[in-house]
Chain A
Amino acid sequence: MIYADNAATTRISDTAFAKMLPFLREQYGNASSQYSLGVKAKKAVEHARHQVAIAIGADASEITFTSSGSEANSWVIRGIAEKFHNKPIHVITSSIEHHSVLNAFLTLERSGVEVTYIPVGKNGLVEVADIKAAIKPHTRLVSIMFANNEIGTIQPIAEVGQLLKGKDILFHTDAVQAVGHIPVDVSRLGVDFLTASAHKFYGAKGTGILYKRSGIELVPLVFGGKQEHGLRAGTENVAGIVSAGCAIEESIELMANEAKRLRKMVEDTIEGIKEKIPSVRVNGDVFHRLPGTVNLCFNGISGESLMHLLDLKGICVSTSSACTAGRDNPSHVLLALGLSEQEARSAIRISYGRYNTTAEVEKVIIEICNAYLKILGNC
């Protein structure tokens, strides 16, 4: 099998896997217990918190573990709305956010919160000037994703942070696709909240990360014990948290070389496909993008069909559309870029990762071209 869908999830690294295992068996203590088994679990959680904090330039006290990136996103957005309960507030986000952000804002809209969705250009990037123009006296939150999950474009987060500096507006970035893959430093970015997820950077599934700048208040997500600074009660997922700490440390260490290698793989893929299919088109900005992610449009065919044919050849890629009961709904991200519904339905996302090889890239190119021609030959 060739797994080229690392933006969906990654295979846990051998090191992270080995580090988390003892906490499922020999060291299975509850981190709140006061005897040695529990103390060791607590120590492991705090060590992971420290590892995550170092990786993003934060203080360990600013890191809270959740069950997923989506949970962390929902928490921030709903939490801010709750903080200003019964007050007319305005929030700003972009039209290409992940559904965990967009759906949270849609829910707020239904309860009377005013939401502005900033459009993106054909390159998939927001304009800082558009955000500036959208700010109102009662704007309380801006939420712009760091890197897009479908097209891989990287937003000008530091510039947005600069714009909001000194204003009474909180700034959140969904950095689920960015953390562990490109440099992320919360102090340089000027964000108040940043969210991430361990399984996107070779950690285990089930552990999300919330960075909350020191001094900022957020209502607790779960009531109960004092776990996670009293903000998210419930017995900690010690093994998952340990894997997150280990995986992020490892990812930071490998980042520079990996970025270079993955960028080359993506370039080779685009060039290789273009040789056989000149009409293929890259969606999103060519320069401001994640190293391993590329989204391509294949004129005249369905991206979903292409994905299924590749699956038959043991290659995992993703389609941008969501198939619901036999009908593929075009991606909101690609539509926001100005693509027609037909163009959006013709797209696939390839996302390479740490375990992909050059030989696999060659195979991906060959099989994509073969599958494209087979589909086209029958339409």
Chain B
Amino acid sequence: MAKIIDCYICGKKNLTRNEIGLNKKLIGNEVKKFHCLQCLADYLEVSVEELEERITEFKDAGCSLFE
């Protein structure tokens, strides 16, 4: 069973595969403090839409971090 991960900042429960994958992709596989999409966007000073766009690009490229 997949491990349940919550947002380190706002406490949002059970982050999605996309959110977990994006944290690993943008912060690194060793990421310890996971963020939900909104908190990650705030932290990186970009928009949620930009992050969503990247998720699509990474998945289209076959990145297994989002599986």
Total A-B residue contacts, Cβ distance less than 8 Å: 50
How far, in angstroms, from A325 to B44 measured CA to CA in the complex?
Answer: 24
How far, in angstroms, from A379 to B28 measured CA to CA in the complex?
Answer: 8
A302–B54 CB distance below 8 A: no
B65–A326 CB distance below 8 A: yes
Min C-beta distance of B18 to chain A, whole Å: 13
CB neighbours of B28 from chain A (8 A): 301-302, 304-305, 375, 379
Tell yes or no: A359 within 8 A of B by CB. Answer: no
A305–B27 CB distance below 8 A: yes
CB neighbours of A379 from chain B (8 A): 27-28, 30-32
Min C-beta distance of A337 to chain B, whole Å: 22
Tell yes or no: A138 within 8 A of B by CB. Answer: no
How far, in angstroms, from A378 to B50 measured CA to CA in the complex?
Answer: 20
With contacts A375-B27, A379-B32 taken as known, whether A312 is within 8 angstroms of B54 at the C-beta atoms is: yes
CB neighbours of A377 from chain B (8 A): 33
- A327 nearest CB neighbor, chain B only: B64
CB neighbours of B31 from chain A (8 A): 378-379
- A370 nearest CB neighbor, chain B only: B45
Encode A315-330 as 1/0 by CB contact (under 8 A) with B: 0000000010111000
Count residues of B near A (Cβ-Cβ below 8 Å).
Answer: 22
Encode A321-344 as 1/0 by CB contact (under 8 A) with B: 001011100000000000000000
A374–B43 CB distance below 8 A: yes
CB neighbours of B33 from chain A (8 A): 377-378
Tell yes or no: B48 within 8 A of A by CB. Answer: no
- B29 nearest CB neighbor, chain A only: A302
With contacts A302-B29, A374-B43, A379-B30 taken as known, whether A308 is within 8 angstroms of B65 at the C-beta atoms is: no
- B24 nearest CB neighbor, chain A only: A326
Min C-beta distance of B49 to chain A, whole Å: 12
- A311 nearest CB neighbor, chain B only: B54
CB neighbours of B65 from chain A (8 A): 326
A325–B63 CB distance below 8 A: yes
A326–B63 CB distance below 8 A: yes
Tell yes or no: A309 within 8 A of B by CB. Answer: yes
A308–B32 CB distance below 8 A: no
B27–A312 CB distance below 8 A: no
With contacts A378-B33, A379-B27, A379-B32 taken as known, whether A309 is within 8 angstroms of B62 at the C-beta atoms is: no
Min C-beta distance of A324 to chain B, whole Å: 9
Min C-beta distance of A17 to chain B, whole Å: 28
A326–B32 CB distance below 8 A: no
A305–B26 CB distance below 8 A: yes
B32–A309 CB distance below 8 A: no
Min C-beta distance of A326 to chain B, whole Å: 4
Encode B8-50 as 1/0 by CB contact (under 8 A) with A: 0000000000000001111111111101000000011010001
How far, in angstroms, from A377 to B29 measured CA to CA in the complex?
Answer: 14
Min C-beta distance of B37 to chain A, whole Å: 13
CB neighbours of A375 from chain B (8 A): 26-28
With contacts A378-B31, A379-B31, A379-B32 taken as known, whether A308 is within 8 angstroms of B26 at the C-beta atoms is: yes
- Interface on A for B, CB 8 Å cutoff? 301-302, 304-305, 308-309, 312-313, 323, 325-327, 374-375, 377-379
Given A312-B44, A327-B64, 6 further pairs, Cβ under 8 A: A302-B29, A305-B25, A305-B26, A308-B26, A312-B50, A374-B43
Q: Which 3 A-B pairs have the closest CB atoms?
A: A326-B64, A302-B28, A326-B65
- Interface on B for A, CB 8 Å cutoff? 23-33, 35, 43-44, 46, 50, 54, 62-66
What are 16 A-B pairs at a CB distance below 8 A?
A: A302-B29, A305-B26, A308-B26, A308-B54, A309-B44, A312-B50, A312-B54, A313-B46, A323-B63, A325-B62, A326-B25, A326-B63, A326-B66, A327-B64, A378-B33, A379-B27
